[in-house]
Amino acid sequence: MKKVLSILLVLVMAASLAACVTGKNGNSGNTVDNNSADNGGTANAPANTSEGGNTLTVWCWDPAFNIYAMQEAEKVYQKTNPDFKLNIIETPWEDVQTKITTAASSGDLSTLPDIFLMQDNAFQKNYINFPEVFTDLTDSGIDYDSFAQAKAAYSVIDGKNYGVPFDNGTGIDCLRTDILKQAGYTIDDFKDITWDRYIEIGKDVLAKTKMPLLSSQAGSPDLIMEMLQSCGQSLFKEDGSPNIVENQALTEAINVYTTMVKEGILVEVNDWDQYVGTFTNGTVAGTINGCWILASIQTAADQSGKWALTNVPSLKDISNATNYTNNGGSSWGISTNCKNVDLAVDFLSKTFAGSVEFYETILPSSGALATYLPAGKSEVYAQPSEFFGGQKVYADITEFAGKVPSNITGVYYYEARDAVGTAMTNVVSGADLESELKNAEDTVKFQMGQ
Amino acid sequence: MKSKKKSMGLSKRRNLIGWIFLLPAVLLICGMSFYPMIRALVLSFRTGVGANMKFTGFYNYIRMLQDKVFIQALFNNFFYLIIQVPIMLLLALVLASMLNDKDVKFKGLFRTAIFLPCATSLVSYAIIFRALFALDGFINTMLIKIGILDVPINWLGNAQTAKTVIILALIWRWTGYNMVFYLAGLQNIEYSIYEAAEIDGASPFHQFGRITIPLLKPMILLTAIMSTNGTLQLFDESVNLTNGGPANATITMSHYIYKMSFEYSPNFGYSTAMSFVVLILVAVLAFIQMKTGDKR
């Protein structure tokens, strides 16, 4: 008896894991009973959408950035619609994703807000899995022509628009001008160059100043993905099948990366904080990333005036290679749980998709760069930045943003990204590139199979 | 009516009252735990995109055999289990019998200090270990200052050392927890047995091997099963300390299941199937441990 009981006890303990996965997600369709515990919390909270009225509920995550932008947008819209109110709920991106997955797979969308912010890279995945969550905005009157085309493409599926573009992740190459000077270079030596030239200069800078040019998070293929997009490529073909083994741009990108690690031009660190630390502490002479990295760079107040930025290097011998790329960014979506779609559309089209004044307000304090092209012509964007030695960084970035080639994100973006990250790590520690890419493609194909 | 009540008898009535008291808890467990488990089992036989799922029998379970990442994760879990659990339990035993000695001073202080790691949050301790073992972290700096190392070791960037760091972290976090179980068990062993052994000329080492371990066997069995269960479900360390890296060298099954459900294009059928494999593994291992360890 004792034994039976103890085995039962162990089973219960272990099963809590199994129950955890479904406890949150219920079964396939119509029943919602077994996640009532989950919903109970939010149902009473003001997470529900408003019935008619003049209030919209929003999920977004960064108080200094997108939440702030939403608050400013509310103020702008209140000028024409004084009764309008936003109910902004701070929800980290991981939670937005989990909550949408939970709501959609249980078939109960009533917990979703009116408007949610979504990572661009996750847009396709969520639409393909849960099309019932998204409201079609194609003919809603939002002027998509005024956005950078590559940016708007993230939330376009089958020629239809499901999102309003927000922040910009245009790739920039930020460099310490004081260190370049010691080695006899200027920022202009980095403009419109290839990666080969970048490595050449990198070696020289390393020899003369003992400073590597770059740092990156080990195992995270951000740089590789940026190089791919700079040629309009991604890890997927147009038909959605993985494009890894025969992808010349990818092979070249991993080669460039491996060379940089071996030459000591690029130092790999293990987590994000260390990565930010490498340039704020001055252990590396620059960084390449999406332009949102500006906020982190500018935390090092003692380096003010010592930075400059330019466009990113391009891959040599790859067709369509450019010096422009993108990393990250997010877009607003309107959920099908929204009872007042007209209001939500009108609000977004008069703020995020129609108000230069709005973008002028949010830029100086949050650094939220628009992909809304008319805003780039505003005077606020042409203000020189003291931190970047008087460079008009925002105008420059907006100019780059318009030239970024668009690519296919793919539904299985995160799977492919992880697989390529694994391949990259193995190649850097000496494995054979070709067989690693084969492995990566097999892994992605496996995970794509249902 | 009256006669019927009488025929129930005293013991039967007491039993009935007992069951009525148990009923609320039983219902709650059934509703909150067993019902989702059964739904999960059903779900593990289905597959599909998003909310449109079809019944496909054992497909998910067969599919797992071809999943390189899952097999790697399984291997990692067993690696942690085989290396970490014995070291931790032995260490806990040694510490417990040392701190059970009547003549040791500041016993309470030491016991508290060793138990304390167990009170820290899993996430925060994992992040602290990540910082300690960073390239320019405390451990590297110390080793270089002392003169053991010339160049810093990239602890978390190398498969073997990353696994070692996770094992070290686990030992730090859980040894005190198991020690408390052993200390409780040791209170039931008469001190006079040790005194008798001492008179007979048994060394402390002998006493430990011949008295402490055999008498603590039920406790050791309990802790072994709990540790096995915990190690196979390891999640926080893999996510926060190494993020599964480098190149999936430290990823655990639970971490992969989470990724499958919420990071990747969600595949709940497959995720629950993997969870059930973890369940079966734990059940089988617990059964083996009971068969070999419990000879009462």
Q: CB contacts < 8 Å between A and B, how many?
A: 167
**For B266-275, what is the mean pLDDT?**
89
Q: How far apart are the first and last CA of chain B?
A: 47
> What's the alpha-carbon Rg for chain A, to the nearest Å?
24
**For A71-80, what is the mean pLDDT?**
91
Interior angle at CA A109, CA A104 and CA A113, nearest 5: 115
B105 and B217 assigned to the same domain: yes
Per-residue DSSP letter, A64: T
Does residue B276 belong to any structural domain of this protein?
Answer: yes
The two three-digit tokens of residue B281, written as one number: 């593994």
B23 and B71 assigned to the same domain: no
Residue, of A168 and A437, whose pLDDT is higher: A437
Q: Per-residue pLDDT tens for B199-215?
A: 998 888 888 888 888 88
Of B43, B58, B75, the residue that ends a domain is B43
Q: Per-residue pLDDT tens for B1-46?
A: 455 555 668 888 888 999 999 999 999 999 999 999 999 999 899 8
B113 and B20 assigned to the same domain: no
B12 and B83 assigned to the same domain: no
Select from B123, B275, B290 the residue whose CB has the most chain A CBs within 10 Å, as the one to mutate to test that interface: B275
A48 confidence band (pLDDT: 50, 70, 90): very low
Among A321, A205, A291, A12, smallest CA distance to B37 is for A12
Of B68, B272, B278, the CB nearest to A22: B272
CA distance A207 to B14: 87
Per-residue DSSP letter, A319: T
Among A342, A349, A372, A345, smallest CA distance to A360 is for A372
CATH number of residue B83's parent domain: 1.10.3720.10
Q: Which residues of A touch B279 (CB under 8 A)?
A: 11, 14-15, 17-18
Among A24, A29, A66, smallest CA distance to A330 is for A66
B 88-127 residues with CB < 8 A to A:
none
Question: pLDDT at residue A19 above 60?
Answer: no
Q: How many CB atoms lie within 10 A of CB B217?
A: 14
Buried b (16+ CB within 10 A) or exposed e, A271-301: beebbbbbbbebebbbbbbbbbbbebbbebe
Question: pLDDT at residue A150 above 90?
Answer: no
The two three-digit tokens of residue B57, written as one number: 């029998």
Please return the burial class of B251, using the count of CB atoms within 10 Å of its CB with bins 0-12, 13-18 and 19+. buried
B173 and B99 assigned to the same domain: yes
Q: Which residue of B has its CA nearest to A97?
A: B262
Per-residue pLDDT, A41: 37
B97 and B163 assigned to the same domain: yes
* Percent of residues, chain B, with pLDDT higher than 90: 42
Question: ipTM strictly over 0.85?
Answer: no
Amino acid at A329: G
Per-residue DSSP letter, A383: P
CA distance A17 to B253: 11
Amino acid at A186: T
Does residue B196 belong to any structural domain of this protein?
Answer: yes
A171-325+405-448: CATH topology is D-Maltodextrin-Binding Protein; domain 2 (3.40.190)
Q: Per-residue pLDDT tens for B66-92?
A: 888 999 999 999 999 999 999 999 999
Does residue B234 belong to any structural domain of this protein?
Answer: yes
Per-residue pLDDT, A35: 35
With a CB cutoff of 8 Å and minimum separation 6, the contacts of B105 are none
Per-residue pLDDT, A14: 57
Does residue B49 belong to any structural domain of this protein?
Answer: no
- Helix residue ranges, H only, A107-221: 120-129, 149-152, 177-183, 195-209
Asked whether A405 and A231 are in contact (CB, 8 A), the reply is yes
Per-residue pLDDT, A57: 93
The two three-digit tokens of residue A115, written as one number: 């408007």
> What's the alpha-carbon Rg for chain B, to the nearest Å?
25
B27 and B155 assigned to the same domain: no
The pTM of the full predicted model, rounded to 2 decimals, is 0.81
Q: Are strands A171-176 and A286-290 parallel, antiparallel or unpaired?
A: antiparallel
Q: Per-residue pLDDT tens for A279-338?
A: 998 889 999 998 888 888 888 888 989 999 999 999 988 888 999 998 888 999 999 999
Among B277, B276, B271, B279, smallest CA distance to B47 is for B271
CA distance A74 to A351: 8
Asked whether B95 and B179 are in contact (CB, 8 A), the reply is yes
Is B246's CB within 8 Å of A105's CB? no
Q: Per-residue pLDDT tens for B101-152?
A: 878 888 889 989 999 998 889 999 998 998 898 888 899 899 999 988 888 8
Q: What is the distance of C-alpha B136 from the center of its chain? A: 31
Q: Are strands A160-161 and B52-55 parallel, antiparallel or unpaired?
A: unpaired
Asked whether A300 and A279 are in contact (CB, 8 A), the reply is yes
Helix (H, G, I), strand (E, B) or coil at A160: strand
Does residue B192 belong to any structural domain of this protein?
Answer: yes
Q: DSSP letters of A394-428?
A: HHHHHHHHTTPPP----TTHHHHHHHHHHHHHHHH
Three state DSSP letters for chain B: CHHHHHHHCHHHHHHHHHHHHHHHHHHHHHHHHHHHHHHHHHHCCEEEECCEEEECCCHHHHHHCCCHHHHHHHHHHHHHHHHHHHHHHHHHHHHHHHHCCCCCCCHHHHHHHHHHHHHCCHHHHHHHHHHHCCCCCHHHHHHHHHCCCCCCCCHHHCHHHHHHHHHHHHHHHHHHHHHHHHHHHHCCCCHHHHHHHHHCCCCHHHHHHHHHHHHCHHHHHHHHHHHHHHHHCCCHHHHHHHCCCCCCCCCCHHHHHHHHHHHCCCCHHHHHHHHHHHHHHHHHHHHHHHHHHCCC
* CA of A107 vs chain B CAs: smallest distance (Å): 7
Helix (H, G, I), strand (E, B) or coil at A286: strand
Question: pLDDT at residue A167 above 80?
Answer: yes
> Which residue(s) pair with A309 in the sheet?
A174
Helix (H) or strand (E) holding A94: helix A93-106
Of A28, A101, A429, the CB nearest to B262: A101
B164 and B208 assigned to the same domain: yes
Q: Are strands A214-217 and A266-269 parallel, antiparallel or unpaired?
A: parallel
CA distance A281 to A46: 43
B12 and B157 assigned to the same domain: no
* Percent of residues, chain A, with pLDDT higher than 90: 38
Going from the C-alpha of A104 to that of each of A135, A345, B50, the distances in angstroms are 14, 22, 8
Per-residue pLDDT, A192: 92
Does residue B272 belong to any structural domain of this protein?
Answer: yes
| Domain assignment of residue B16, given as a range | 2-43
CA distance B126 to B122: 6
Is the CB of residue B263 less than 8 Å away from at least one CB of chain A?
yes
Is A22's CB within 8 Å of B286's CB? no
Helix (H, G, I), strand (E, B) or coil at A388: coil
CA distance A325 to A313: 10
Tokens 């070291």 label which residue? B87
B127 and B212 assigned to the same domain: yes
B13 and B133 assigned to the same domain: no
A 395-424 residues with CB < 8 A to B:
411-412, 414-415, 418, 421-423
Is A13's CB within 8 Å of B294's CB? no
**For A31-49, what is the mean pLDDT?**
38
Is A219's CB within 8 Å of B243's CB? yes
CA distance B229 to B231: 6
Is B48's CB within 8 Å of A105's CB? no
> Is the link from the previous residue into A63 a cis peptide, with omega within 30 of 0?
no
- Helix residue ranges, H only, A141-300: 149-152, 177-183, 195-209, 222-230, 248-263, 272-280, 294-297
Is B157's CB within 8 Å of A28's CB? no
CATH class of A46-168+328-378: alpha beta
B9 and B113 assigned to the same domain: no
* CA of B30 vs chain A CAs: smallest distance (Å): 11
Does residue B51 belong to any structural domain of this protein?
Answer: no
The two three-digit tokens of residue A348, written as one number: 């977004």
Q: What's the total number of domains in chain B?
A: 2
Per-residue pLDDT, A253: 93
**Backbone torsions φ then ψ of A197, nearest 5 degrees:** -65, -40
CA distance A65 to B146: 45
Among the ranges given (A270-279, B51-60, B115-124), the one the predictor scored with the smallest mean pLDDT: B51-60
